[in-house]
Structure 1
């Protein structure tokens, strides 16, 4: 199960943020972070996929913001990069910009 989607649904349900655009923007920031990590680690998409036990087309979806990785997939990615899982989310994203004004 992808934990980003339920969290984002709660934000919409309680009208904390103004639209589903936030999820798209968050996934865009996440995918850019994946690209940066991969560049720093000098790995190809195939290397990451091979070390993560999923194919490169699936990994490509995550780097292009078109897939929602599960927790299991996130753990496999972190392992392939040799980093703690929290580093996958080490990027700036200002949720305050999207809060609904009351």
Structure 2
């Protein structure tokens, strides 16, 4: 992977994390609340929101269900 490709990936992860955090806060949830509702570790939420984790599709669906949004909304950034 080239340096430019890595930068693009990091930018996408950061954009996803920022959007996830925005939606979570709009719903009035803490990271711990969301982790519990989505049945994932608190550290997963933290790392996603900080752009340090590239997660799988099943986690995306779990997060969307917990936030009561469509999975598509998590990618609207």
Give the TM-score of the pair, scaled to structure 2: 0.91
Give the RMSD, CA atoms, in angstroms. Answer: 1.3
Q: CA deviation at 1:19?
A: 3.0
Structure 1: gaps of 5 or more residues: 1-8, 13-17, 92-102
Distance 2:34 2:69 in 1: 12
Count of paired positions: 76
Q: Deviations over 1:1-40 (max 9, x none)?
A: xxxxxxxx7xx7xxxxx43210011111111101110111
Task: Could you list the structure 1 runs, at least 4 aligned residues long, displaced by more than 4 angstroms after superposition.
Answer: none
2:22 aligns with one of 36, 46, 53: 36
Q: Which has the larger radius of gyration?
A: 1
For residues 47-87 of structure 1, give each alpha carbon's deviation from its aligned partner in whole angstroms, at most 9, with x where no partner exists.
10001111111111101101111000000000110001000
Partner-residue secondary structure (3-state), 2:5: coil
